[in-house]
Chain A
């Protein structure tokens, strides 16, 4: 197994640093060496830059890939957007010599060259494939008896031909991972449908994007869960800030939103504050009390 460099992107360090903290704490606790990818910049965000100009998108992504190539590590992402940009760009540049040459002509100006020697991983599929549910299960100290609504997010699974992570309609690996923490992954209608944030829609048409979020939140609420578990800060933002926004139209959800690393952190015994749960828009004290009870019990 090649070593890993952690790629945090823009949204996590600059808006949800709790996810970054949780990631570092859990990786260290379960014994995965992973150093930060220094000098990394925006992945760049697929929704905007891939739409705007393919070569710019590829060139900026390749720069991040080259940083890891120079270190001789794979890249570990904790965001579906970063995963999508870096993995897709890596696949394209590995197979299309023409585009690779074009990109390298730009990279040459900053003294870099893309070689195509590394892989891009997402923490969810990495933990599931390379660590495995059994080993992860052994590390759990505080099995969380809670009900969770798992949200995979579009770009973790799709396009399926490129991701090669199995079915996008009935995926299971993320649910299996969530259940190693003791939580129950509760089925709900529309589980694999979009949170509404992607493709630059959140920035361009906030209200419209929240319509899609409302569709999801209504169904998640109906399923009766303690929390939402995601794998992407963009979905995270959409669900977390979206609940506040939808309160204005009379909705009352109050469902805490956790990135998987934060859920895992709780099951490893870290407190909600250590994992930055208090930095979310939605802070549900009943949930935190329940966690405190569980953590005290074990």
Chain B
């Protein structure tokens, strides 16, 4: 990955020591940072184990935007069509409804009981515009890959 920031990393490991996910998974963020300079890490499942908590980025003594780097690495993987099925589902919800977590019957009922209304016309218009934008940015194509 072309990120001049990352070249200043001196492999101190502060990032990994701060990482809540690394305690339970094979994610070693120090290693990802190192590897990403030399090679393509799109296939490493670990890039998807980060909760984007920003602890590593906050604590890196070199001020490297570590979490932002993870996001960039993920984007590179996505461009190559490496998308986890569950994430693809969430994206499809957005394409199909304008929302990432659509309303189901159980929660429609809850809303009714609380006296909360749903502005269907407003949701429809939102969806139409979101869909147009997702087409325009090429996101729909990206997800189909």
Residues of chain A touching chain B, judged by Cβ–Cβ distance below 8 Å, are: 10-11, 13-15, 17-18, 20-21, 36, 38-42, 44-56, 59-60, 63, 106-107, 109-110, 154-155, 158-160, 168, 193-194, 196-201, 203-205, 208-209, 211-212, 215, 276, 279
Please give, as numbers and ranges, the residues of chain B lying within 8 Å of A42 by CB-CB distance.
94, 98-100, 130
State in angstroms the CA–CA spacing of A55 and B23 once bound together.
32
A52/B142 in contact, CB under 8 A: yes
B interface, how many residues as a size bin?
35 or more
State in angstroms the CA–CA spacing of A42 and B78 once bound together.
20
B51/A154 in contact, CB under 8 A: yes
Minimum distance in angstroms from A216 CB to a CB of chain B: 9
State in angstroms the CA–CA spacing of A42 and B24 once bound together.
30
Instruction: Other than A10-B99, A41-B127, A198-B53, give 18 A-B pairs with Cβ distance below 8 A.
Output: A14-B101, A41-B129, A41-B130, A44-B94, A51-B70, A51-B75, A52-B142, A54-B75, A55-B137, A56-B134, A56-B142, A106-B133, A110-B133, A154-B52, A158-B55, A159-B67, A200-B90, A211-B23
A-B contact count (CB 8 A): 186
Please give, as numbers and ranges, the residues of chain B lying within 8 Å of A276 by CB-CB distance.
110, 114
A46/B52 in contact, CB under 8 A: yes
Pull 11 A–B residue pairs with CB atoms less than 8 Å apart, ordered by A.
A13-B103, A14-B103, A44-B100, A45-B100, A55-B137, A63-B130, A110-B132, A201-B51, A204-B84, A204-B87, A279-B110
**Which of B5-13, B31-39, B118-126 is the contact stretch?**
B118-126
**Nearest opposing residue in chain A for B83, CB measure:** A52
B75/A41 in contact, CB under 8 A: no
Count chain A CB atoms within 10 A of each CB in B83, B90, B134 and give the residue with the most: B90
